[in-house]
Structure 1
Amino acid sequence: LGRLEEKLLSAVGHNEDILSGQDIEFRPSTKVKLIRRHGQRLLFESEDSCYIAHRMANSRLYEGLPEQTFELPIQYVSGFNALSDSYPEWMSLSEMPEEMNAVEVQALCHLLYHHGLLMVQQLPDRIKRKVKRSKHE
């Protein structure tokens, strides 16, 4: 995976303006994957409390910045594990674990995306074709 692809398909290269209210849309046809296999760790404080620790602010070679953490709601754990297990392959959101509803899947993706851990491929829901009509019709 090249650094350019990492950048272009993540929040870093999306040039997203969080304050504008414009946000990326996660649909069932959207494909996602974690940027790096070992870029993040899921840690449990208790049976019903966990968080993700990551070093995505560091380059692959330089480890100078401290680890960053954020809370992961316990109901998102199965989705995070599915993404980890599918790495390095892309995963369609329609393939997320059945125990997660669509709102939870979208919330998990937004959380991981905004923390710079997720790459996104938006696929068109349907292909539009322009049909040329002949002058003789």
Structure 2
Amino acid sequence: MKKIGMLKDMIRSAFRQPVTELYPVERRPAAEDFRGMLHWNPEGCTGCALCVKDCPADAIELITIDKAAKRFVIRYHVDRCLFCGQCAYSCRFNCITLSNDEWELADLGRDNYTVLYGEPEDIEQFSLESEPEPDIEPA
């Protein structure tokens, strides 16, 4: 009796559309409320650091370049992020958003998992300050 049921399912599935999606070729859009890559808008940021304090994974660092001029750089560690959205929820000025477009974040190296957000000149200044001096020993 069970063999007839399985044969019936096989015949029925032969006339249906396949369920499998060809993922890399055909991509479905993400849901509207999907939480992907973090994006930071420095325009309205006051440097209150609520996003840093509320992040359960310590994935966000706020680096102050000039507090009076409201110049900040955010270092976002994608590999630590839980994509919980707590940073976006706690930001009073809506400077942090989680994109539903960028969610394919897999990579072979660790270099692309640290992202710096801010004005280009602030990022350059921070990058120059944070680079360690090379150890050169006399021969």
TM over 0.5: no
Structure with max Cα Rg: 2
Q: TM-score, normalised by structure 2?
A: 0.28
RCO higher in 1 or 2 (8 Å CA, sep ≥ 6)? Answer: 1
Q: TM-score, normalised by structure 1?
A: 0.28
